[in-house]
Amino acid sequence: MNLRQLEYFLAVAKSLNITGAAADLGVAQPTLTKSIRALEEELGVQLFDRLPRGVQLTEFGQSLLRHAETVNVQVQDAMSEIDWLRRGAVGTVSIGAGPAWLRRHLPVSLARTVMANPAVRARVVGGYDDVLLRALRRGELDFVVAELPLRELSQDLAIERLTADELGPCCRADHPLARQNEPEPCQLLEFPWILPPRNTRSHRRLQALFVALDLPLPQIVVETESMAFILNMLRESDALSFLGSTTMQWSEGQDIAMLKVPRISAVREAGLISRKDGWLSPAATAIIAELRIVCAARPKN
Protein backbone atom coordinates (compact mmCIF):
# COMPACT_ATOMS: atom_id res chain seq x y z
CA MET A 1 0.00 0.00 0.00
CA ASN A 2 1.35 3.43 -0.91
CA LEU A 3 0.23 7.05 -0.60
CA ARG A 4 -0.98 7.19 -4.20
CA GLN A 5 -3.28 4.22 -3.60
CA LEU A 6 -4.65 5.90 -0.47
CA GLU A 7 -5.21 9.11 -2.42
CA TYR A 8 -7.15 7.20 -5.07
CA PHE A 9 -9.13 5.32 -2.41
CA LEU A 10 -10.07 8.57 -0.62
CA ALA A 11 -11.23 10.14 -3.89
CA VAL A 12 -13.54 7.20 -4.64
CA ALA A 13 -14.79 7.08 -1.03
CA LYS A 14 -15.64 10.79 -1.26
CA SER A 15 -17.50 10.75 -4.57
CA LEU A 16 -18.79 7.15 -4.42
CA ASN A 17 -18.39 7.14 -8.18
CA ILE A 18 -15.38 5.81 -10.09
CA THR A 19 -15.92 8.06 -13.11
CA GLY A 20 -16.34 11.17 -10.98
CA ALA A 21 -13.32 10.34 -8.84
CA ALA A 22 -11.17 9.77 -11.93
CA ALA A 23 -12.19 13.19 -13.27
CA ASP A 24 -11.40 14.83 -9.92
CA LEU A 25 -7.97 13.19 -9.86
CA GLY A 26 -7.24 13.85 -13.51
CA VAL A 27 -6.50 10.19 -14.27
CA ALA A 28 -8.02 7.66 -16.64
CA GLN A 29 -10.86 5.58 -15.22
CA PRO A 30 -9.11 2.23 -15.97
CA THR A 31 -6.04 3.47 -14.06
CA LEU A 32 -8.17 4.28 -11.01
CA THR A 33 -10.10 1.00 -11.22
CA LYS A 34 -6.85 -0.97 -11.47
CA SER A 35 -5.42 0.82 -8.41
CA ILE A 36 -8.51 0.09 -6.29
CA ARG A 37 -8.53 -3.58 -7.31
CA ALA A 38 -4.81 -3.89 -6.53
CA LEU A 39 -5.44 -2.40 -3.08
CA GLU A 40 -8.32 -4.82 -2.46
CA GLU A 41 -6.15 -7.76 -3.53
CA GLU A 42 -3.33 -6.64 -1.24
CA LEU A 43 -5.68 -6.34 1.74
CA GLY A 44 -7.64 -9.47 0.83
CA VAL A 45 -11.02 -7.74 1.25
CA GLN A 46 -13.57 -5.88 -0.88
CA LEU A 47 -13.54 -2.16 -0.12
CA PHE A 48 -16.49 -1.13 -2.31
CA ASP A 49 -19.74 -2.75 -3.38
CA ARG A 50 -20.29 -2.04 -7.07
CA LEU A 51 -23.80 -0.63 -7.66
CA PRO A 52 -25.67 0.08 -10.92
CA ARG A 53 -24.77 3.72 -10.41
CA GLY A 54 -21.61 4.28 -8.44
CA VAL A 55 -20.16 2.36 -5.51
CA GLN A 56 -20.72 2.01 -1.79
CA LEU A 57 -18.20 1.47 0.98
CA THR A 58 -18.20 -1.95 2.59
CA GLU A 59 -17.51 -2.47 6.28
CA PHE A 60 -13.84 -2.97 5.37
CA GLY A 61 -13.87 0.18 3.28
CA GLN A 62 -15.32 2.23 6.14
CA SER A 63 -12.58 0.94 8.43
CA LEU A 64 -9.84 1.84 5.94
CA LEU A 65 -11.43 5.26 5.36
CA ARG A 66 -10.99 6.25 9.01
CA HIS A 67 -7.30 5.39 8.95
CA ALA A 68 -6.69 6.77 5.46
CA GLU A 69 -8.12 10.16 6.45
CA THR A 70 -5.79 10.26 9.44
CA VAL A 71 -2.76 9.39 7.29
CA ASN A 72 -3.77 12.01 4.71
CA VAL A 73 -4.00 14.73 7.38
CA GLN A 74 -0.61 13.75 8.82
CA VAL A 75 0.96 13.95 5.35
CA GLN A 76 -0.58 17.41 4.83
CA ASP A 77 0.80 18.54 8.22
CA ALA A 78 4.25 17.21 7.34
CA MET A 79 4.26 18.98 3.97
CA SER A 80 3.14 22.26 5.56
CA GLU A 81 5.83 22.06 8.24
CA ILE A 82 8.55 21.22 5.72
CA ASP A 83 7.39 24.05 3.46
CA TRP A 84 7.64 26.49 6.35
CA LEU A 85 11.08 25.21 7.36
CA ARG A 86 12.28 25.45 3.76
CA ARG A 87 10.84 28.82 2.76
CA GLY A 88 9.62 30.42 5.97
CA ALA A 89 6.22 30.64 4.29
CA VAL A 90 3.49 32.01 6.55
CA GLY A 91 0.55 30.49 4.70
CA THR A 92 -3.08 30.85 5.75
CA VAL A 93 -4.36 29.73 9.15
CA SER A 94 -7.79 28.06 8.89
CA ILE A 95 -9.83 28.53 12.05
CA GLY A 96 -13.19 27.01 12.96
CA ALA A 97 -15.28 29.10 15.35
CA GLY A 98 -18.53 28.55 17.23
CA PRO A 99 -21.20 31.31 17.20
CA ALA A 100 -20.03 33.00 20.43
CA TRP A 101 -16.38 33.03 19.32
CA LEU A 102 -17.26 34.73 16.04
CA ARG A 103 -18.60 37.72 17.96
CA ARG A 104 -16.25 38.13 20.87
CA HIS A 105 -12.87 36.66 21.70
CA LEU A 106 -11.68 35.50 18.27
CA PRO A 107 -12.03 38.86 16.45
CA VAL A 108 -10.07 40.60 19.21
CA SER A 109 -7.34 37.95 19.24
CA LEU A 110 -7.04 37.86 15.45
CA ALA A 111 -6.94 41.66 15.19
CA ARG A 112 -4.11 41.86 17.71
CA THR A 113 -2.17 39.12 15.92
CA VAL A 114 -2.51 40.72 12.48
CA MET A 115 -1.48 44.13 13.81
CA ALA A 116 1.63 42.63 15.42
CA ASN A 117 2.34 40.30 12.46
CA PRO A 118 1.08 41.89 9.18
CA ALA A 119 2.13 38.83 7.16
CA VAL A 120 -0.39 36.58 8.95
CA ARG A 121 -3.34 35.44 6.85
CA ALA A 122 -6.42 33.70 8.26
CA ARG A 123 -9.58 32.01 7.04
CA VAL A 124 -12.38 31.86 9.62
CA VAL A 125 -15.18 29.29 9.25
CA GLY A 126 -18.26 29.60 11.46
CA GLY A 127 -20.44 26.72 12.56
CA TYR A 128 -21.40 24.39 15.39
CA ASP A 129 -19.17 21.90 17.18
CA ASP A 130 -19.97 18.73 15.24
CA VAL A 131 -19.41 20.23 11.78
CA LEU A 132 -16.25 22.04 12.87
CA LEU A 133 -14.73 18.95 14.48
CA ARG A 134 -15.31 16.86 11.36
CA ALA A 135 -13.53 19.52 9.29
CA LEU A 136 -10.70 19.61 11.83
CA ARG A 137 -10.24 15.84 11.67
CA ARG A 138 -10.17 15.99 7.85
CA GLY A 139 -7.38 18.55 7.99
CA GLU A 140 -9.53 21.36 6.58
CA LEU A 141 -9.04 23.45 9.74
CA ASP A 142 -5.87 24.07 11.77
CA PHE A 143 -7.73 24.50 15.05
CA VAL A 144 -11.21 25.17 16.41
CA VAL A 145 -12.55 27.42 19.16
CA ALA A 146 -15.94 26.11 20.29
CA GLU A 147 -17.73 24.19 23.00
CA LEU A 148 -15.46 21.39 24.19
CA PRO A 149 -16.42 17.85 23.14
CA LEU A 150 -16.72 14.98 25.59
CA ARG A 151 -13.22 13.65 26.28
CA GLU A 152 -14.25 10.04 25.79
CA LEU A 153 -15.33 10.92 22.23
CA SER A 154 -12.26 12.98 21.38
CA GLN A 155 -9.20 10.91 22.26
CA ASP A 156 -7.62 11.96 18.96
CA LEU A 157 -7.90 15.67 19.80
CA ALA A 158 -5.96 18.06 22.03
CA ILE A 159 -8.36 20.08 24.20
CA GLU A 160 -7.66 23.24 26.21
CA ARG A 161 -10.38 24.91 28.29
CA LEU A 162 -10.37 28.69 27.89
CA THR A 163 -13.84 29.88 28.93
CA ALA A 164 -17.06 28.79 30.63
CA ASP A 165 -20.65 29.99 30.41
CA GLU A 166 -24.10 29.02 31.67
CA LEU A 167 -26.65 27.48 29.32
CA GLY A 168 -30.32 27.98 30.04
CA PRO A 169 -33.78 28.42 28.49
CA CYS A 170 -34.16 31.83 26.82
CA CYS A 171 -37.07 33.83 25.41
CA ARG A 172 -38.07 37.38 24.52
CA ALA A 173 -37.95 39.76 27.47
CA ASP A 174 -41.76 40.20 27.63
CA HIS A 175 -42.54 36.49 27.24
CA PRO A 176 -45.28 35.17 29.60
CA LEU A 177 -42.73 32.96 31.40
CA ALA A 178 -40.35 35.90 31.89
CA ARG A 179 -42.85 37.41 34.34
CA GLN A 180 -42.45 34.42 36.68
CA ASN A 181 -39.65 34.28 39.24
CA GLU A 182 -38.79 30.61 38.63
CA PRO A 183 -40.96 28.66 36.17
CA GLU A 184 -41.32 24.91 36.55
CA PRO A 185 -39.57 22.74 33.93
CA CYS A 186 -42.94 21.34 32.79
CA GLN A 187 -44.11 24.86 31.90
CA LEU A 188 -41.38 25.05 29.27
CA LEU A 189 -43.15 22.28 27.37
CA GLU A 190 -46.15 24.54 26.72
CA PHE A 191 -44.18 26.55 24.17
CA PRO A 192 -42.44 25.72 20.87
CA TRP A 193 -38.62 25.57 20.72
CA ILE A 194 -36.04 26.69 18.20
CA LEU A 195 -32.62 25.02 18.53
CA PRO A 196 -29.30 24.40 16.80
CA PRO A 197 -29.10 21.12 14.81
CA ARG A 198 -29.83 17.95 16.77
CA ASN A 199 -26.26 16.64 16.50
CA THR A 200 -24.83 19.62 18.43
CA ARG A 201 -23.93 19.26 22.11
CA SER A 202 -26.31 21.99 23.29
CA HIS A 203 -29.26 20.30 21.55
CA ARG A 204 -28.42 16.87 22.97
CA ARG A 205 -27.78 18.32 26.42
CA LEU A 206 -31.19 20.02 26.56
CA GLN A 207 -32.95 16.79 25.66
CA ALA A 208 -30.94 14.90 28.30
CA LEU A 209 -32.07 17.39 30.98
CA PHE A 210 -35.74 16.75 30.19
CA VAL A 211 -35.18 12.98 30.11
CA ALA A 212 -33.44 13.15 33.52
CA LEU A 213 -36.57 14.82 34.93
CA ASP A 214 -38.79 12.12 33.37
CA LEU A 215 -40.47 14.75 31.19
CA PRO A 216 -41.41 14.61 27.51
CA LEU A 217 -39.00 16.18 25.06
CA PRO A 218 -39.77 19.76 24.04
CA GLN A 219 -41.56 20.41 20.76
CA ILE A 220 -38.88 21.63 18.34
CA VAL A 221 -40.45 23.61 15.50
CA VAL A 222 -37.24 24.94 13.91
CA GLU A 223 -33.63 23.75 13.75
CA THR A 224 -31.06 26.13 12.34
CA GLU A 225 -27.33 26.81 12.34
CA SER A 226 -27.96 30.57 12.35
CA MET A 227 -27.75 32.21 15.77
CA ALA A 228 -29.10 35.45 14.28
CA PHE A 229 -32.18 33.56 13.06
CA ILE A 230 -32.72 32.01 16.51
CA LEU A 231 -32.55 35.39 18.27
CA ASN A 232 -34.82 37.10 15.77
CA MET A 233 -37.41 34.32 15.97
CA LEU A 234 -37.35 34.45 19.77
CA ARG A 235 -37.96 38.18 19.58
CA GLU A 236 -40.95 37.74 17.26
CA SER A 237 -42.67 34.76 18.92
CA ASP A 238 -43.33 32.83 22.13
CA ALA A 239 -40.67 30.27 21.18
CA LEU A 240 -37.92 29.24 23.61
CA SER A 241 -34.31 28.29 22.99
CA PHE A 242 -31.31 26.99 24.96
CA LEU A 243 -28.51 29.56 24.86
CA GLY A 244 -25.47 30.80 26.71
CA SER A 245 -25.86 33.66 29.17
CA THR A 246 -23.33 35.85 27.34
CA THR A 247 -25.66 35.85 24.31
CA MET A 248 -27.73 38.47 26.14
CA GLN A 249 -24.72 40.80 25.89
CA TRP A 250 -24.73 40.77 22.10
CA SER A 251 -26.49 43.60 20.30
CA GLU A 252 -28.85 41.00 18.75
CA GLY A 253 -29.61 39.57 22.20
CA GLN A 254 -30.55 42.70 24.12
CA ASP A 255 -34.30 41.95 24.02
CA ILE A 256 -33.73 38.32 25.05
CA ALA A 257 -33.91 37.04 28.64
CA MET A 258 -32.69 33.85 30.30
CA LEU A 259 -35.28 32.14 32.47
CA LYS A 260 -34.28 30.96 35.92
CA VAL A 261 -34.96 27.22 35.77
CA PRO A 262 -32.12 25.54 37.74
CA ARG A 263 -33.02 22.01 36.64
CA ILE A 264 -32.90 23.02 32.96
CA SER A 265 -29.47 24.60 32.95
CA ALA A 266 -25.88 23.53 32.44
CA VAL A 267 -22.33 24.84 32.40
CA ARG A 268 -20.78 25.08 28.94
CA GLU A 269 -17.01 24.81 28.79
CA ALA A 270 -15.36 26.05 25.62
CA GLY A 271 -11.89 26.59 24.28
CA LEU A 272 -9.22 25.42 21.92
CA ILE A 273 -9.43 22.14 20.01
CA SER A 274 -6.71 20.86 17.69
CA ARG A 275 -5.48 17.55 16.30
CA LYS A 276 -3.39 15.68 18.82
CA ASP A 277 0.24 15.69 17.65
CA GLY A 278 -0.79 17.84 14.66
CA TRP A 279 1.51 20.60 13.44
CA LEU A 280 0.56 24.23 14.07
CA SER A 281 2.33 26.94 12.10
CA PRO A 282 3.98 29.89 13.86
CA ALA A 283 1.07 32.05 12.65
CA ALA A 284 -1.47 29.68 14.24
CA THR A 285 0.60 29.58 17.43
CA ALA A 286 0.63 33.39 17.54
CA ILE A 287 -3.18 33.57 17.22
CA ILE A 288 -3.59 30.95 19.94
CA ALA A 289 -1.28 32.89 22.25
CA GLU A 290 -3.48 35.98 21.87
CA LEU A 291 -6.60 33.87 22.46
CA ARG A 292 -5.21 32.71 25.78
CA ILE A 293 -4.52 36.30 26.84
CA VAL A 294 -8.00 37.51 25.84
CA CYS A 295 -9.74 34.58 27.51
CA ALA A 296 -7.76 34.97 30.72
CA ALA A 297 -9.02 38.56 30.94
CA ARG A 298 -12.60 37.62 30.00
CA PRO A 299 -13.21 33.99 31.04
CA LYS A 300 -16.88 33.99 29.97
CA ASN A 301 -17.82 33.65 26.32
Pairing of the two strands 241-244 and 92-97: unpaired
pLDDT, one tens digit per residue, over 111-135 is 999 999 888 899 999 999 889 999 9
Is 228 in contact with 99 (CB distance < 8 Å)?
no
Query: For residues 77 and 261, what is the distance between their CA atoms, to the nearest angstrom?
Result: 46
Q: What DSSP element (H or E) covers 110?
A: helix 105-116
Give all domains of the chain, ordered by start, each with its CATH number. 3-70 (1.10.10.10), 85-163+269-297 (3.40.190.10), 166-268 (3.40.190.290)
CB 165 within 8 A of CB 270: yes
Eight-class DSSP state of 186: G
* pLDDT per residue of the chain (301 residues) written in tens, 0 to 9: 888 888 888 889 888 998 888 888 899 989 999 999 998 899 999 999 988 888 999 999 999 988 888 787 777 777 776 776 666 656 689 999 999 999 989 999 999 999 998 888 999 999 998 899 999 998 889 999 999 998 888 888 999 999 999 999 999 999 999 999 999 999 999 999 999 999 899 999 999 999 999 999 999 999 999 999 999 999 999 999 999 999 888 888 889 999 999 999 999 999 999 999 888 988 999 999 999 999 999 999 8
How far is it, in rounded angstroms, from Cα 192 to Cα 222? Answer: 9
Dump pLDDT digits (tens) for 215-274. 999 999 999 999 999 999 999 999 999 999 998 888 888 899 999 999 999 999 999 999
pTM of the model: 0.75
- Specify whether the CB–CB gap between 117 and 110 falls below 8 A: no
The DSSP element (H or E) to which 168 belongs, if any, is strand 157-172
For residue 174, the one-letter residue type is: D
Q: Work out whether the CA dihedral 105, 108, 112, 113 comes out positive or negative.
A: positive
